[in-house]
Amino acid sequence: MNQLAGMMNRLSYYWDLTVVLTKKEIKIRYKSSVLGYLWSVVNPLSFALVCYLAFQIVFRIGIANYPLFLICGLFPWQWFSNSVNTSTEIFLRNSSLIKKTIFPKSVIVLALVLQDMIHYVLSLPVIAVVALHYQVFPTLTWLYGIPLLLLIQLAMTYGAALFLASINLFFRDMARLVSTLTILVFYCTPILYSESMIPPQYQWLLYVNPLAPLMANWRSVLLDGCLLPDYLLLSAVYALLILYTGHQVYERFRWRFAEVL
Amino acid sequence: MEPVIVFDRVSKEYPLYHRVTAGLKHFLLDLPGAIRSLRSTRLEVLRDVSFTVQRGESVGIIGRNGAGKSTLLLMIAGVIKPCGGTVTVRERVSPLLELGSGFHPDLSGRENIELNGVLLGLSRRQVLTKQDSIIEFSEIGDYIDQPIRTYSSGMVARLAFSVLVHLDPMILLIDEVLAVGDFAFEKKCLDMMLSFKGSGVTTVLVSHALPQVEQMCDRVIWIEDRSIRCCGAPSEVIAAYIEHSKPTDKP
Give tens-digit pLDDT for B16-33.
Answer: 665 455 566 666 666 676
CA dihedral B125, B131, B137, B141 (to 10 degrees): 170
pLDDT in tens, A168-205: 998 888 899 999 999 999 999 999 999 999 999 999 98
* Residues of B with Cβ-Cβ distance to A172 under 8 angstroms: 21
Q: What is the ipTM of this complex?
A: 0.83
User: Among A77, A148, A158, A165, which residue's Cα sits nearest to residue A110?
Assistant: A158
Q: What is the mean pLDDT of chain A?
A: 91
Q: Is A17 on the interface with B (CB under 8 A)?
A: yes
pLDDT surpasses 80 at A233: yes
Residue B179 CA to residue B126 CA, distance in Å, equals: 29
pLDDT surpasses 90 at A235: yes
Predicted local distance difference test score (pLDDT) of residue A79: 95
User: Among B235, B219, B238, which residue's Cα sits nearest to residue B63?
Assistant: B238
User: Among A107, A176, A121, A89, which residue's Cα sits nearest to residue B24?
Assistant: A176
Predicted local distance difference test score (pLDDT) of residue B24: 67
* Residues of B with Cβ-Cβ distance to A256 under 8 angstroms: 80
Strand duo B227-232 + B219-224: pairing: antiparallel
Cα B245 off chain centre by: 22
Q: Is A5 on the interface with B (CB under 8 A)?
A: no
Of A24, A100, A102, the CB nearest to B115: A24
Residue A154 neighbours by CB distance under 10 Å: 19
Q: Is B120 on the interface with A (CB under 8 A)?
A: yes
The distance of A185 to chain B (nearest Cα, Å) reads 26
pLDDT band at B250 (very low <50, low <70, confident <90, very high): very low
Residue A8 neighbours by CB distance under 10 Å: 10
pLDDT surpasses 70 at B43: yes
pLDDT band at B97 (very low <50, low <70, confident <90, very high): low
Closest-CA residue of B relative to A170 is B21
Residue A26 CA to residue A37 CA, distance in Å, equals: 9
Predicted local distance difference test score (pLDDT) of residue B232: 86
Closest-CA residue of A relative to B101 is A96
Surface of B (49-88) touching A: CB under 8 A: 74, 77-81
* Cβ partners under 8 Å of residue A86, min gap 6: A112, A116
Of B78, B111, B118, the CB nearest to A102: B78
Size (chain A), residues: 261
Over range B232-248, report the average pLDDT.
84
pLDDT surpasses 70 at A104: yes
pLDDT in tens, B164-221: 888 877 888 887 766 566 777 778 777 887 888 888 889 898 888 888 888 888 899 9
Residue B12 CA to residue B87 CA, distance in Å, equals: 11
Predicted local distance difference test score (pLDDT) of residue B65: 83
User: Among A158, A146, A120, A121, which residue's Cα sits nearest to residue A240?
Assistant: A158
User: Among A226, A223, A217, A47, which residue's Cα sits nearest to residue A132?
Assistant: A223
pLDDT band at B141 (very low <50, low <70, confident <90, very high): confident
Among residues of chain B, what percentage have pLDDT more than 70? 84
pTM: 0.88
Closest-CA residue of B relative to A169 is B21
Concatenated DSSP letters for A162-197? HHHHHHHHH-TTHHHHHHHHHHHHHHHSTTSS-GGG
Best of B43, B79, B128 to mutate (most A CBs within 10 Å, chain A): B79
| Higher pLDDT among residues B20 and A28, named by residue | A28
